[in-house]
A and B are shown apart, each in its own frame.
Chain A
Amino acid sequence: MKINFNDIIIPRKIILLFIFSIIILIVLITIFLNRNLSDLFFKLWTNYNQDLALSISKHCHKEIDIAQKQLEMLSIDPDFQNLSNIDKIDLTINGLPQNYEPYKRKIFSELLKRNKDFSLLFLLLPNGDNYISYPFEIQKSLKKNNLSDREYFQKVVKTKIPYISDYFIGADGQPSIVIDVPILDENNNIKCHIGGVFYLDTLNLILKQITPEEETYSMLIDRKGNLIAHNNSLFLEKKEKNNLKKHPFIKDFLANKDSYNKSKTFSYIHPVDNKEYIGSFVALSFGWGFGLSFKKEMIYKNINLQTLSILLLVILLIILVDGIGFIILRRYINTWIEKENILLESNLENEKKYQMLFDTMLNGFALHEIICDKEGTPIDYRFLEINPSFERITGLRKDDLVGKTVLEVLPKTESYWISQYGEVALKGIDKFFENYSSDLNRYYEVFAYCPKKMQFAVIISDITPRKISEIEMNKLNQELVLKNKELEQIVYVSSHDLRSPLVNIQGFSKELQHSVNSIKKLLETKEIKSKQLEDIITEDIETFLMYILKSVEKMDSLLSGLLKLSRVGRAALNLKIINMNKLINNVIKNFSFKIVENCIKINTEELPDCFGDEVLVDQVFSNLLENAMKYLANNRQGIITIGGFVEKDTSVYFIEDNGVGIGQEHYDKVFELFYRVSPRESKGEGLGLTVTKKILHMLNGNIWVESELGKGTKFLFSLPTKNKL
């Protein structure tokens, strides 16, 4: 039946499978995240690129706008207007037309001086007439297009929007573009065209400064889709130039007027290195476009590197945690196996042992099932199994118990047993408690536990002898405490009350001595003044003697009181159930003379029995009745009521009068030794209630008082109803 590690190889495989599936899940999540990440990255990058492209293109546009404005301004320059009127100027000298070329050149050179951004200026008229500052570059371009200059210009002049008509390296070696601005009259007809060759220096500078990365290009593209310039070089070689034409969408985008000053992103093959680029293009209103592009692989290069390193780290972590986890798991499983093996080995042996233990153990053992009502409140329980000791301890036989409920067997079973066991069986909590069973008149120590829902098992032992001695001990302890208190009171009394008469005796003896001395002095004078002598003897000596004698008497009464108190409880107690009705009748009979004499009305109610010493209880009633009669009010008939009732397992009796009453501040003091509320108004030693209290304590009873000044007093005392043990 032994288990070894190989037996549980399947769980191990399951665990490994589980771990691997977790790894795969993590990888999938990472890839998913990565994809999202690169999308996000790409979007961010593109947005940024578009914004940058827009911003650069605006700069370029502004430069060209300024150039256009300059050219427009030329149209109202009087010098320039002269050019168009030059034919009308009479340059005939001596009837012959003169060459106006030098004049024309003079005007142009003035104009060029004022507009330094241009290397060449020209004016075109709708009829094809043209005036150019330095004609040869244009002519070069004309040759290329196989057009006569008149034809070319006529074609150009039809355009009604400003645009860039050409680009080239200017005569002065500077990269230049040709900007052409139509001037319209009030009827929106073309009046003329003013054009200029514009240095690209400014634009070039912007492109070079703003372009951020090495693998990023900023570009100028002509309206046909030719790549004209990028940040590395202006005016590219022909083969580079033309490659953008492969992407007609760029051309379409630039040609569409709606896309002016807007940006759009295309992916395309860049002509410089034939790699895939992402470019943001902006269509400029003058016909050309601007582009800013970056190598596509640049983004993914970064992202892929990051993702890979995170993945590696995660896998490493998993391997590490998994490894440690497996070691711990293996150790745990091994321990568990060992425990199980030991248990298995011992189980068989134990079963035998348990059976023996069950049969021979000194403690009683019993298994029960709880019985509940509809609300689930435990109301009874049934015996399922008991051991021989249980029979012995309870005195009940197995045949009478098993299968029956406790209320069937012991109908008077206290409800606390059922509720305690109910908690054990229903809530599954262990309980250890001591309790009393009135049916069996025994004390039990109980350990109860729940082996199964709705069942409970108890292990009980009879602790009645111990309990009895405990109760006795408690009683003795209480007595000791009381004795101690009594002793304290006696000490207090002896320090106060007993010393008080002594002070008098000694004090007045000294006074007597004084008197004697006075008498001696009087006698020495030989002249006996009988009046003085008489005064001393009658006023002083007699008074002093009176006090001394009174103090001696007081002393004697205190001492006899102490003796009386000490005698209470010295005689052996004769405890039994007392018929209180009979007892109280006797007491009243003893006081009948006094009752009649003082016209006192005594009401006696039916009194419950109690457990005590008849002589002592008689004394209690006598003391209390005597007290009640002593402190009746003078102004009304005395009424004394004697009654009693049972409360739990004590009988409570009371003697109520309508006398002078006691102030609340004296409630406790009245029971003190020699304490008297008003010593001058009544006789007594201050002993009665002290004795009464002592007797009641000896009989496991108690006494207390309720009273109202001027209305009456009610003394209550309790005694046990029956013998508890």
Chain B
Amino acid sequence: MNMKKEVVIFLAEDDDGHSLLIKKNLKRAGVLNEIFYFRDGEEILNYIKNNREKLVNSNFSYLFLIDIRMPKVDGVEVLRQLKKDKDFHKMPVIMITTTDDPKEIALCHEIGCNNYITKPVDYDKFANAIQQLGLFLLITEIPEMII
């Protein structure tokens, strides 16, 4: 990935509340990147399909935050499609889910997700996880942003 490219976050989450919480916590952790919101798997896949050229040729690179349980097309399917896509298979994908079912985690890793975050009921843990995610974003993708 080109270090100089700015990172845009694609967030696919069917629960509006979760989206808002993630956004707030990312901001609080210092992640000020632009976030694109999608409400299910179908939406995000359609968006990529319809804007492929624009996305590929832009100066941005992309990070995907994907919820697993979504209507129409679920997160695992989105992950599978992304990892099959010749334009997007190198972009980082982080799965977010409410379950810590080891089978599901193993499946996502097998397909090739870069990280897996369980939404904890404990808010502190959740915030911490989001902050960790923010840190991860800052260090690996957009070091200039710290200043």
Contacts and interface: CB of A to CB of B under 8 A. Distances in A.
Interface in A660-695: 675-680
Interface in B1-30: 14-18, 20-21, 24
18 contacts: A492-B101, A495-B99, A496-B68, A496-B97, A499-B121, A503-B21, A503-B98, A503-B119, A504-B18, A507-B17, A507-B126, A508-B21, A511-B21, A547-B17, A551-B17, A677-B72, A678-B71, A680-B39
Across the A-B interface, the 10 shortest Cβ-Cβ residue pairs: A504-B17, A510-B123, A499-B98, A507-B21, A547-B17, A495-B99, A496-B69, A506-B123, A503-B119, A502-B121
Interface in B129-147: none
A550 B24 CA distance: 19
Contacts of B101: 492, 495
A506 B25 CA distance: 13
B122 interface: yes
Contacts of B123: 506-507, 509-510
A540 to B, nearest CB: 9
Given A507-B21, A547-B20, A499 B99 contact: yes
Contacts of B21: 503-504, 507-508, 511
A543 interface: yes
B24 A511 contact: yes
A631 to B, nearest CB: 14
A543 B126 contact: no
B92 to A, nearest CB: 23
A500 B24 contact: no
Contacts of B15: 500, 504
Nearest to B69: A496
Given A500-B18, A504-B15, A680-B39, A510 B127 contact: yes
B17 A550 contact: yes
Contacts of A550: 17
A492 B100 CA distance: 11
Contacts, number: 65
B146 to A, nearest CB: 23
A497 interface: yes
Nearest to B123: A510
B18 A503 contact: yes
Contacts of B99: 492, 495-496, 499
Nearest to B71: A679
B55 to A, nearest CB: 25
Interface string A267-279: 0000000000000
Interface string A588-629: 000000000000000000000000000000000000000000
Contacts of B72: 677-678
B28 to A, nearest CB: 9
Contacts of A551: 17
Contacts of A509: 123
Contacts of A495: 98-99, 101
B73 to A, nearest CB: 8
A506 B121 contact: yes
Interface in A538-562: 543, 547, 550-551
A495 B72 CA distance: 20
Given A495-B101, A496-B97, A509-B123, A677 B17 contact: no
Contacts of A678: 71-72
Given A492-B99, A507-B18, A510-B127, 16 more contacts: A492-B101, A496-B68, A499-B119, A500-B69, A503-B17, A503-B18, A504-B17, A504-B18, A506-B122, A506-B123, A509-B123, A510-B124, A547-B20, A550-B17, A678-B71, A680-B39
Contacts of A500: 15, 18, 69, 98, 119
Contact of B17 (A499, A508, A510): A508
A371 B84 CA distance: 67
A496 B104 CA distance: 12
Nearest to A504: B17
Contacts of B24: 511
A679 B15 CA distance: 11
Interface string A500-525: 10111011111100000000000000
Interface in B99-125: 99, 101, 119-124
Contacts of B14: 679
Contacts of B16: 547
A551 to B, nearest CB: 6
Contacts of A508: 17, 21
* Interface-centre pick from A503, A675, A677 (highest chain B CB count, 10 A): A503
A551 B15 CA distance: 10
Contacts of A496: 68-69, 97-99
Nearest to B42: A678
A677 B71 contact: yes
A500 B96 CA distance: 12
A63 B68 CA distance: 117
A676 B70 CA distance: 9
Interface in B24-67: 24, 39
Contacts of A679: 14, 71
B124 to A, nearest CB: 8
A539 to B, nearest CB: 12
Nearest to A496: B69
A240 B126 CA distance: 138
Contacts of A510: 123-124, 127
Nearest to A502: B121
A509 B122 CA distance: 11
Contacts of A506: 121-123, 126
Contacts of A507: 17-18, 21, 123, 126
Contacts of A504: 15, 17-18, 21
A424 B90 CA distance: 69
Nearest to A663: B72
Contacts of B39: 680
A460 to B, nearest CB: 51
Contacts of B20: 543, 547
A550 B17 CA distance: 9
Nearest to B73: A665
A675 B70 CA distance: 10
Nearest to B122: A506
Contacts of A677: 71-72
Nearest to B119: A503
A675 B72 CA distance: 10
A679 B124 CA distance: 30
A184 to B, nearest CB: 114
Interface string A676-718: 1111100000000000000000000000000000000000000
A510 B97 CA distance: 20
Interface in A188-202: none
A254 to B, nearest CB: 108
A680 B15 CA distance: 11
A677 B14 CA distance: 12
Interface in B68-101: 68-69, 71-72, 97-99, 101
